[in-house]
């Protein structure tokens, strides 16, 4: 065998996989070929190549599902990928820890990052494209546009994280413009985010479908979150109190008792105060799922939501309560 044969063979495979991944060639794949194809997830780092790739797929009549994430992937994220996989021809997962949605004293620097682990999980899930732009590509010098969704962005989490949802709306708008998704997938865990993004897509006539997926939980009910990694063992145990409080508040509201939204707020706060490691309750109560304002009276659909700190770690959770 000549010296260059093995590298050339590897290169040839690379070309075939790249051609498959780019949609230049396609045929029906089953068995081992399908496994090989799945292992060929493409990584794209530049916005221009992402746009060109998406344009080509759309031109071929394919649908594109986008799952925007900040990485450190867990089963909550992977649930979105699965759903996107079921509903679209091409699944793009973006990983971008977006500096402009973090406040000055927040956890941007220590936010968990696990590129290798994330890639493995996404390949197993069958994601087609990993979009990983870097900060300079997203926000080049001179960048000066911000998408602000008025009102909704200032309530609940927004009251404690000024500028957060403008950062989220801006980056999601840029991701939509780069990936051109047919559908975009978000988790109910970040309910306010889904409301803000929906408002943005409607106000700016963005031509895509938003899909909101249920919150994936640990066995004790704690909503999965990349930030759970910050919790020590005692804090992790205490964190189960969030979902327990929401469930017992929902039971109280559903019991047909005379409980009104202010009682639900009291109920949630009392339950959270019962957990000593909760160091701060930022908000807790019953909210209008459309406006995110505190409810004076129950509606048919009610959002029970809360945000607390356990030690330095900020955690949020919510349930939708139909009455
Ligand atoms: P993040 O990486 O935290 O920005 O989350 C990316 C997406 O995954 C967002 O749409 C989140 O709402 C969603 N997500 C995060 N955790 C969960 C979870 N436990 N269940 C469902 N979706 C989730």
Q: Tens of pLDDT along 172-225?
A: 999 999 999 999 999 999 999 999 999 999 999 999 999 999 999 999 999 999
For ligand 1, what atom is nearest to the CA of residue 227? 3
Domain spanning 226-322, CATH architecture:
2-Layer Sandwich (3.30)
Ligand 1 mean position to 36 CA, how many Å? 28
In this predicted structure, the answer to whether residue 286 has a pLDDT above a threshold of 90 is yes
- Position 24 scores a pLDDT of 46
Q: Is 167 in the pocket of ligand 1 (CB under 6 A)?
A: no
Is the minimum distance from the CB of 180 to ligand 1 under 6 angstroms? no
Q: Is the model's pTM score more than 0.85?
A: yes
Between 195 and 21, the more confident residue is: 195
Closest residue by CA, ligand 1 atom 17: 76
Residue from 74, 77, 164, 267 carrying the catalytic annotation:
77
Ligand 1 within 6 A of 267 CB?
Answer: no
Which pair of structure tokens corresponds to residue 78? Answer: 């992977």
Mutate to test the pocket of ligand 1, among 69, 157, 187 (most ligand atoms within 8 A of CB): 187
CA 69 – ligand 1 centroid, Å: 7
CA of 217 from ligand 1 middle (Å) equals: 11
Is residue 167 within 8 A of residue 101, CB to CB? The reply is: yes
The pLDDT of residue 36: 57
pLDDT of residue 256: 77
- The secondary structure of 217-234, three-state, reads ECCCCCECCHHHHHCCHH
Ligand 1 and 226: CB distance under 6 A: yes
Mean pLDDT of 288-308: 98
292: exposed, middle or buried (C-beta count within 10 Å: 0-12, 13-18, 19+)?
A: buried
Q: Output the CA–CA distances (angstroms, integers) from residue 10 to 14, 85, 100, 267, in the order listed.
A: 6, 29, 40, 63
Q: Torsions phi, psi of 127, nearest 5?
A: -65, 145
Catalytic, 77? Answer yes
Q: What's the pLDDT score for residue 129?
A: 98
Q: Is 102 in the pocket of ligand 1 (CB under 6 A)?
A: no
pLDDT above 70 (res 238)? yes
Q: Which atom of ligand 1 is nearest to the CA of 185?
A: 10
* Rounded Cα distance, 32 and 20, in Å: 15
CATH code of the domain occupying 41-213? 3.40.50.620
Quote the tokens at residue 306.
């809360």
pLDDT band at 32, cuts 50/70/90?
Answer: low
Residue 53 banded pLDDT, cuts 50, 70, 90: very high
């Amino acid at each position: 065998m000549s010296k260059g044969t093995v590298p050339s063979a590897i290169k040839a495979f690379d070309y075939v996989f790249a051609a498959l991944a780019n949609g230049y060639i396609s045929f029906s794949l089953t068995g081992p070929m399908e496994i090989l194809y799945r292992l060929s997830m493409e990584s794209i780092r530049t916005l221009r190549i992402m746009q060109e790739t998406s344009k080509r797929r759309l031109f071929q009549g394919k649908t594109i599902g986008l799952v925007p994430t900040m990485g450190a992937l867990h089963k909550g994220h992977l649930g979105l990928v699965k759903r996107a996989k079921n509903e679209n021809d091409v699944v793009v997962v973006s990983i971008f820890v977006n500096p402009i949605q973090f406040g000055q004293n927040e956890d941007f620097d220590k936010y968990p990052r696990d590129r290798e682990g994330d890639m493995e999980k996404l390949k197993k899930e069958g994601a087609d494209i990993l979009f990983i732009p870097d900060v300079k590509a997203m926000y080049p010098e001179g960048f000066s546009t911000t998408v602000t969704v008025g009102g909704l962005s200032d309530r609940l989490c927004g009251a404690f994280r000024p500028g957060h949802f403008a950062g989220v709306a801006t980056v999601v708008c840029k991701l939509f413009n780069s990936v051109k998704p047919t559908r975009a997938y978000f988790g109910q865990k970040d309910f306010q985010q889904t409301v803000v993004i929906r408002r943005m897509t409607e106000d700016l006539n963005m031509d895509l479908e938003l899909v909101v997926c249920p919150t994936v939980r640990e066995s004790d009910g704690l909503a999965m979150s990349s930030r759970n990694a910050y919790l020590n063992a005692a804090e992790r145990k205490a964190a189960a109190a969030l979902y327990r409080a929401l469930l017992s508040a929902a039971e109280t509201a559903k019991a047909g008792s005379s409980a009104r939204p202010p009682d639900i707020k009291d109920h949630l706060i009392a339950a959270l105060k019962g957990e000593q490691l909760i160091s701060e309750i930022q908000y807790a109560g019953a909210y209008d799922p459309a406006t995110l304002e505190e409810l004076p009276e129950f509606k048919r659909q009610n959002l029970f939501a809360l945000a607390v700190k356990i030690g330095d770690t900020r955690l949020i959770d919510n349930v939708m309560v139909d009455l």
